[in-house]
Structure 1
Amino acid sequence: MSPPRKRADVLLVERGLFESRARARAAIEAGLVTADDKQVSKPSETIAEDAVIQAEPAHPYVSRGGVKLAGALERYPIEIEDHVCLDVGASTGGFTEVLLANGASLVFAIDVGSSQLHGSLRDHPRIVSMEETDIRSYEGKRLPARPDVVVIDVSFISLKAVLPVALSLAAASMSLLALIKPQFEADRKHNKKGIIRDTAVHREICDDIAAFAASLGCTDIEIFPSPITGGDGNIEFFLGARRG
């Protein structure tokens, strides 16, 4: 009788090779997992429970967000060392982790969710975790220190809804890297099953966001593709900008 089989991503977590199915999927999709010397081609592939599995992590960060921001910093370098930073939509902390690795003196990590920040970051002395916080509730308010660097990664809301408040909290002279997710910016007629494939729609959205950032006083504006797609396969872009 053949041994029982399980989904690859599930088995990897059960074996203790990865702490979550998301990280297991990332490694599989990067071609870094083999079972009995054969490459595992997709997370849903079933493999024998007694298979000899070899796996390497797809990236060193707590989430794929770290890969995105690290790549964006190579394309649009900004000074982070010894600066106060604001991470809007911190979630697991991928962006925050990259900011710390680049020498941030303090990171305000804001997210509407709760208990999402990775355990390795939760009690970090240079992180002020602000969970269950909608950045829009800070309109007209101030943080204990004004950030010199703002990074943004939000979902299910337009970037235009959070950018004005985020910039109002920042120092007069600041740098920005914000993720543009077309599926949350496009009209419904362009949003088929949550995936935006039309490059003309991408261009229209990016141009609109760039113009909006300029209207808020941003300069040195650049729009460029994220180094990896979103988890749902959507092509994403970064807005890089400065002020002051």
Structure 2
Amino acid sequence: MNKPQKMRADQMLVEKQMATSREKARAMILSGIVFSDGIRIEKAGHRLTSKSDLELRGRQLQYVSRGGVKLEGALKDFQIDVTSLEALDVGASTGGFSDCLLQNGAARIFCVDVGYGQLAWKLRQDSRITVLERTNFRHLEFERIGHKVDLVVIDASFISLNLILPKALEFLKVGGRILALVKPQFEAGVAEVGKRGLVKNEEIHSRILKQLNELATKLQLVILGQMESVIKGKKSGNREFFIYLQLQQDSVSPLQRANVDDPGTLQCEETHSR
């Protein structure tokens, strides 16, 4: 007996007319609303048989990934108008943050990510997007951007914001703002992180935010606000937070940057699973 033919989950969503394109199907899968035989599909390349039952549960995302929902919540809470702004998206990945910015009127976005081929096709082909893939933000040369921007948004994984914020100042205009997502599992000490990267202790959350606020002050950044993300991290289930900062003076000098405390922990390259 011949085995049933298998098909990628994103392809099957299109075949069954549950998604208008493979790109939209991938976004739906990443948002966690696609189920097969009662089990959530985690990857677009998951193989399903022709007899597999597909269903959608919950609200379909307005953006290419959950990151857009997170950023939308922060823009509303902080009452940020991004109309006509130029932005730098650090750890762009699928492009949830960038998609949200464009839908809210941003003029241009530079998408930086250490990975390759992750940015959603609709963003990749958008003339307002400049794609900088295979690029470690910490080593990004100013010439590749060419000028300073109005807004830097950050959603990075496997690296502490202690290492990203000083670099972000190189690309930020005086009066420009930073909106950074704080992921506790990448800011806490190794011994403080539980299974699946979960950090439950609220005292650790408070300490992390306090330390980031102290760093911001050293970098001549004004703290405009902080808030808890409207949704939790998908993989870890962690509570996540946004910090909202503004540069009131010109970028710090190399000497000042050298005086910023070494975070001592992390770790890897910037990328994320928006």
TM range (shorter): 0.7 to 0.9
How does 1:116-195 map onto structure 2 within 5 Å?
116-138=118-140, 143-193=145-195, 194-195=197-198
Q: Deviations over 1:150-198 (max 9, x none)?
A: 1000000001111111122111110111000000011111111211011
Which aligned runs of 4 or more in structure 1 are off by greater than 6 angstroms? none
Match in the other structure for 1:213: 216
Say if 1:242 and 1:98 are closer, same or farther in 2 by CA, change over 3 A: same
Q: 1:56 to 1:212 in 2, by over 3 A?
A: same
CA contact (8 A) 1:25 1:43 kept: no
Is the CA contact 2:172–2:247 (under 8 Å) kept in the aligned structure 1?
Answer: no
Checking the alignment, whether the CA contact within 8 Å between 1:11 and 1:49 is kept in structure 2 is no
Q: Among the aligned pairs, what percent are the same residue?
A: 37
The match for 1:224 is: 227
Q: Any idea what the Cα deviations from partners look like across 1:24-60, whole Å, max 9, x if unmatched?
A: 363538xxx798xxxx5x517x9x9365846665311
1:196 alignment counterpart = 199
Deviation per CA, 1:54-113: give whole Å up to 9, x if none.
Answer: 666531110110011001101112231111111100011110111111211111111111
Kindly indicate whether the alpha-carbon contact (under 8 Å) linking 1:89 and 1:152 is maintained by their aligned counterparts in 2: yes
How does the TM-score come out when normalised to structure 1? Answer: 0.82
One-letter code of the match for 1:191? V
Which of 205, 210, 234 does residue 238 from structure 2 map onto? 234
Give unmatched runs, 5+ long, in structure 2. 42-47, 249-274
Q: Would the aligned equivalents of 2:157 and 2:186 in 1 still touch at CA under 8 Å?
A: yes
Structure 1, gaps ≥5 residues long: none
State whether structure 2 residue 114 is matched by structure 1 residue 88. Answer: no
1:101 aligns with 2:99: no
Higher RCO (CA < 8 A, seq sep 6+): 2
Amino acid at match of 2:40: P
Cα gap change, 1:27/1:133 in structure 2, threshold over 3 Å: closer, same or farther? closer
Give the number of aligned pairs.
228
Give the partner amino acid of 1:239: I
